[in-house]
Homo-oligomer: A and B are copies of this chain.
């Protein structure tokens, strides 16, 4: 009804003989819908630019850490090694899917209408006028519109923006997980004068990436509200109007803010390759448990031993690596019963020298398996397995080959080819 007011005032300013020509045959949405299409096109152009920046930043990051190994995680647990550069590729790959959906939705939203109060061209309007008028604006007629353009088109656009927001949310989540204190792999950029916390001066909080989590929630809520606009009565009701006036600008602001912040975070990311290596080192060789298992299984196969035995041997060795010492065992069985005791235990832990880390390569090649009550393996079985291992590793050549399993060169042999095969394109993806 803002348009109605505008038309009325504008009309009165014209000489009477021209007044009836102004806004003639057209209804508000003959003007508002094409105008909306233009507004979306402009907003989309801004998002496209921000997306391009973001992907460019990711690309730079991927290149810089193309040979920096890290311990990849599944289920939050150290799994196998990959390069940090490769991790960044997985982020780009997901963002690319979302961007592709966004690009297609943009094309759909270049359709609009100018076809009168119920979409069948009142009086002076006609398909030809519609085509010409929309053409001037760079738009194409949508055949089969009612008083309004189908909100399915805009729903699809909102859905694609939700995908972008969710992928950025996933990248932010990974960034938060990697930045957890203890042995952080990276940090968000932290300003010289920044205060992490008003109470705790030591804090470097991941506030930017956490904000992304909140923004992804908002983008999702807004996109979904917009999708619900598809439900309209017959040739239209006006329920969609208030939603579009509020949620569209907000949705774009949220997505643009996310792109801007993530570009800032990723381009300023403080990466710790030393911690990445440290984490691999601390995993006691389990990062190659898959290769170790396969190696043993192949050797065992030559000797007629079931593949499952290889699995269980490597599992047993892996558990041994993380077996607690006597001090830890005691604490696990009897947690402190008062804080005074805890204070004493803390002193012990602070002063205690850390023992050299165990390693599954060594346990296995030295046939050093021992039973573990947490797994089902009788002393007899373990004894048998050690005999078997001694047999396998009697041979120097086998031992050399075995040790190769644990080298990064071996484990990362295909990383380069992922980079080669990874698609690039106009947009920098």
Contact = CB atoms under 8 A, between A and B. Distances in A.
Contacts of A233: 73, 75-76, 173-174, 176-177
A243 B214 contact: yes
A202 B242 contact: no
Contacts of A92: 144
A72 B23 CA distance: 22
A360 B305 contact: no
Interface in A187-242: 190, 192-193, 195-207, 210-218, 220-222, 224-225, 227-242
Given A92-B144, A205-B75, A291-B123, A349 B418 contact: no
B67 A16 contact: no
A127 B27 contact: no
A255 interface: no
A90 B120 CA distance: 10
Q: Assembly of this chain: how many copies?
A: 4
A342 to B, nearest CB: 5
A246 to B, nearest CB: 7
B204 A69 contact: no
Nearest to A17: B301
A65 B150 CA distance: 22
A401 interface: no
A114 interface: no
Interface in A1-30: 1, 3-4, 7-8, 11-12, 16-28
A257 to B, nearest CB: 9
Contacts of A162: 159, 227
A23, A92, A141, A147 — which one has the most chain B CB atoms within 10 A of its CB?
A: A147
A79, A163, A216, A305 — which one has the most chain B CB atoms within 10 A of its CB?
A: A79
A90 to B, nearest CB: 5
A384 B297 CA distance: 66
A274 B331 contact: yes
A292 B77 CA distance: 35
Given A193-B376, A217-B228, A308-B12, A74 B349 contact: no
Interface stretch (A42-50, A281-289, A388-396): A281-289
Contacts of A412: 120, 339
A142 B96 CA distance: 11
Contacts of A260: none
Contacts of A144: 89-90, 92-94, 96, 418, 422
A397 interface: no
A318 to B, nearest CB: 3
A203 B117 CA distance: 11
A424 to B, nearest CB: 11
A202 to B, nearest CB: 3
A93 B289 CA distance: 41
A256 interface: no
A170 B339 contact: no
A10 to B, nearest CB: 11
Contacts of A238: 75, 205, 207, 210-211, 214
Given A75-B207, A271-B332, A318-B202, A217 B234 contact: no
Nearest to A95: B152
A20 B234 contact: no
A203 B75 contact: yes
Interface in A258-281: 270-275, 277-281
A398 interface: no
A424 B31 CA distance: 28
A380 interface: no
A340 B122 CA distance: 18
Interface string A173-190: 110110111110000001
B281 A346 contact: yes
Contacts of A12: 306, 308
A315 B215 CA distance: 30
B241 A167 contact: no
